[in-house]
Chain A
């Protein structure tokens, strides 16, 4: 099946620093990718839709200037958490949908961010 990778798998950073998370579709092209945030024992909350070659679409309540998304190619989307604070600590997961078949979404393994 399709594979989506994320890097890094985990990161610990100091408050005020910026962290970049990469999401790659390894064997298919993805014009659209999705970024989710998941707090412990909670559901996945959609943060934004990453669109190749155009601006990302953010969900209500998600600050676009804090969570910068760049979808520079058909296989790569990046999420940058700028000036991270402890409340940004979470599990960030990207997904890329297959446009054929079931339209299932393939999820990356996730990135666990801890902000000290």
Chain B
């Protein structure tokens, strides 16, 4: 079946350092979404990317969708303690059921003040 892997599984950074998580799908995706889950909380939508090669920015966060629409990345510049949490990518398989998302394995970010 479709698999969506993320690396790294865990990253510990000092506040102010940058952070990147990479998302790779075994199949082509129609679009990809990113979610953040704080410890003990539920996933919260961050952004959706649809076009091949698309890049979107939200303040310190930069999201990219690969040219082949099989991978994506999330980069955080100058991390803050509020960035702590698990970041999940979630993709819809190209030609798959509308709205059905397959979640990546997630990357847990720890930020030391």
Q: Total interface residues on B, using CB and 8 Å? A: 23
- How many whole Å from B93's CB to the nearest CB in chain A? 12
B13 located at the interface, meaning its Cβ lies under 8 Å from any Cβ of chain A in the complex? no
Name B99's contact: one of A93, A105, A107 (CB within 8 Å).
A105
Number of A residues, CB within 8 Å of B = 24
Q: Flag the segment in B43-51, B59-67, B76-84 that touches A.
A: B43-51
| Chain B residues near A104 (CB-CB < 8 A) | 33, 45, 48
Question: Is B105 interfacial (CB 8 A cutoff)?
Answer: yes
Q: Please indicate the chain A residues that have their CB under 8 angstroms from the CB of B43 in the complex.
A: 44, 93, 95, 105, 107
Is B100's CB under 8 angstroms from A34's CB? Answer: yes
A105 touches B42 (CB 8 A): no
| Candidates B41, B42, B44, B99; contact of A103 at CB < 8 Å | B99
Q: List residues of chain A with CB within 8 A of the CB of B48.
A: 102-104
Contacts of A43 in B (CB 8 A): 88, 103-106
User: Which listed residue, A49, A105, A109, touches B45 by the CB 8 Å rule?
Assistant: A105
Q: Give B92-109 interface residues, CB cut-off 8 Å to A.
A: 97-106, 108
Complex alpha-carbon distance, A99 and B98, angstroms: 10
Look across to chain A and name the residue whose beta carbon is closest to the beta carbon of B9.
A41
In chain B, what residue has the closest Cβ to A30? B99
Q: Which residues of the other chain, A, contact B88 by a CB distance below 8 angstroms? A: 43-44
* B113 CB–A CB distance under 8 Å: no
Q: Is the CB of B45 within 8 A of A46?
A: no
Q: Which 3 A-B pairs have the closest CB atoms?
A: A104-B45, A97-B99, A107-B42
